Amino acid sequence: MMKARSMRADPVHRYEELAGYVTALIDNGTLRPGGRVPSLREIGRQRRASLSTALHAYRLLEDRGVIEARPRSGYVVTKGGPIALAAPELSAPPGKPVNVAVSSIMAKLLEHAGDPRLVPLGCAIPSAALLAAGKLDRFLARAARVKGSEYNTYTVPKGDLRLRQEISRRALRWGQVLPPEDIAITCGCTEALALALRTVARAGDTIAVESPTYFGMLQVIEALDLKVLELPTDVRTGVDLSALGRAVRGGAIKACLLSSSFNNPLGCTMPEEKKIAVLDLLAQQKVPLIEDDIYGDIYFGKERPVPFTALDRHDNTIYCSSFSKTIAPGYRIGWVASGRHMQRLLGNKLASTLCGPGLPQAALADFLSSGGYDSHLRRVRGTFEDSLHQMIRTIDRAFPKGTLVSQPAGGFVLWVELPAAVSTRALFHQALEQGVCFAPGDVFSASDRYGNCMRLSCGQSWDERMETGLRRLGALAGEAIVRKGHDNGDV
């Protein structure tokens, strides 16, 4: 089990009170992210505190990531605000392959995703308002008008050539030469993952995965009658290298399925050197790597993390991604890329869907070549980063003491570990009754783990409704702990 650490202490000192006062000004919107904070002298005068108390308070706020000192501007509110919560520790799955039997939670979450009455913390998709839908509509309408019935036929099995060329061009930005002929367009990343797994594994084989991992991957693995070996995973740097080494040297692993960056649900990203070590290890042991880079474009840092495939000197990677998290979940356009495995991938693609619909592919190719995608990405990245930070701040204030939370540097999901007394599966049903949806932790594992964890998604601009919903969730978790205390006779 992950170990819980205490979340924060109640303010007792004068400087802590002062820090609490400034935090409250940020929370109630008086001070805005990026905006100036009163100088030490001003705050000291306003709150009748000495200069050294004010300095002490501001240092505390700096340590918590609430404010930062800027040359010539004094102190400003950090974009997004405080991150005072500790992160969960390395996960500890059981260490042996297991059959997968994830419940029908995915269908349930998708069903709730479209329900406007629910606060949407459950499904990891960006809100319609963020998706530049109007622009895409125009490209779609234009493609239909200009090309007419030309698109109402089968496309080549690999999909629209112009779209594949656009994808190749984007790969060049992280230094990878990925020829369009090594790319096949798929029905979302889900089909790409399924094709990749069917290409390298047979029923009964074992696939090594991160733990916790995206339940859709588990669902695909289950549908193909494969087993999983869940690997201990660090919330920041991904799977534990020595555990992976032991697993693949044992000879029972048929393929390894990892996220390139900002894994769902932990948000972890391997540093480049670790990615290279994983690639060398897997190539040595002749275990192919399937990578899922669906969140790669949603990075908050200066540069996009480089996917495994671009670092792979062994041609041992099958790359999977899609446009679902950034621009068009409804277009169902993803892609799978590989040199060595392309023929077999394509055979599987032909057997599953023959080819994809041409018109959305053409519209997306036009949109990408217009240059609109980059400005769109810049906008959504800013929104996701801000929303995640707001979410962490709200959890800090409204969730029970002992709650731990991930601090991803990209994507738009958070992994929250609650005190052991909370069953998030029970909470899930209570929360739905109160109009809030989230994903309970146990569905991210095939081995009955993470029953006190949850994944929260925030694919939209932060607003009062999200905050109220999240607070409600925190209150329900608090009540569950009190109830459990009563049941155990602690009170």
Ligand X SMILES: Cc1ncc(COP(=O)(O)O)c(C=O)c1O
**Site residues for ligand X per CB under 6 A:** 124, 188-190, 214, 216, 259, 264, 292, 294, 322, 324, 329, 334
189 or 337, CB closer to ligand X?
189
Per the structure block, which two tokens stand in for 116? 């406007």
329 or 469, CB closer to ligand X?
329
Angle at 29 between CA 437 and CA 392, to 5 degrees: 40
In angstroms, what is the minimal distance from the CB of 480 to ligand X? 27
Distance CA 483, CA 491 (A): 9
Length, in residues, of the chain: 491
Angle at 461 between CA 396 and CA 334, to 5 degrees: 110
In angstroms, what is the minimal distance from the CB of 258 to ligand X? 10
Helix %, strand %, coil % for the chain, to 5? 45, 15, 40
In angstroms, what is the minimal distance from the CB of 325 to ligand X? 7
Distance CA 217, CA 292 (A): 10
In angstroms, what is the minimal distance from the CB of 151 to ligand X? 21
> Helix (H) and strand (E) counts for the chain?
16, 17
Distance CA 365, CA 349 (A): 21
Cα-Cα end-to-end distance for the chain? 26
23 or 259, CB closer to ligand X?
259
166 or 467, CB closer to ligand X?
166
- Answer whether 154's CB lies under 8 Å from 351's CB: no
In angstroms, what is the minimal distance from the CB of 216 to ligand X? 5
Question: Tokens 């990408």 sit at which residue?
Answer: 368
- Reference 89, options 349, 489, 312, 406; nearest CA is 406
75 or 214, CB closer to ligand X?
214
In angstroms, what is the minimal distance from the CB of 171 to ligand X? 18
Question: CB burial class (10 A; 0-12, 13-18, 19+) of residue 302?
Answer: exposed
81 or 216, CB closer to ligand X?
216
In angstroms, what is the minimal distance from the CB of 334 to ligand X? 5
- Reference 289, options 249, 319, 252; nearest CA is 319
268 or 466, CB closer to ligand X?
268
Distance CA 25, CA 355 (A): 55
Question: Tokens 């042991």 sit at which residue?
Answer: 285
In angstroms, what is the minimal distance from the CB of 377 to ligand X? 16
293 or 396, CB closer to ligand X?
293
Question: CB burial class (10 A; 0-12, 13-18, 19+) of residue 354?
Answer: exposed
Phi-psi region of 486 (alpha: psi -120 to 50; beta: other; left: phi over 0): alpha
In angstroms, what is the minimal distance from the CB of 420 to ligand X? 27
305 or 329, CB closer to ligand X?
329
In angstroms, what is the minimal distance from the CB of 279 to ligand X? 20
Per the structure block, which two tokens stand in for 345? 């991938």
In angstroms, what is the minimal distance from the CB of 223 to ligand X? 14
- Reference 327, options 184, 138, 164, 130; nearest CA is 130
261 or 383, CB closer to ligand X?
261
334 or 440, CB closer to ligand X?
334
Amino acid identity at 130: L
Q: Which residue is nearest to ligand X (CB)?
A: 188
What are the phi and psi torsion angles at 45 (to 5°)? -65, -50
31 or 380, CB closer to ligand X?
380
Q: How far is CA 242 from CA 250, 253, 281, 369, in A?
A: 12, 15, 10, 43
In angstroms, what is the minimal distance from the CB of 458 to ligand X? 14
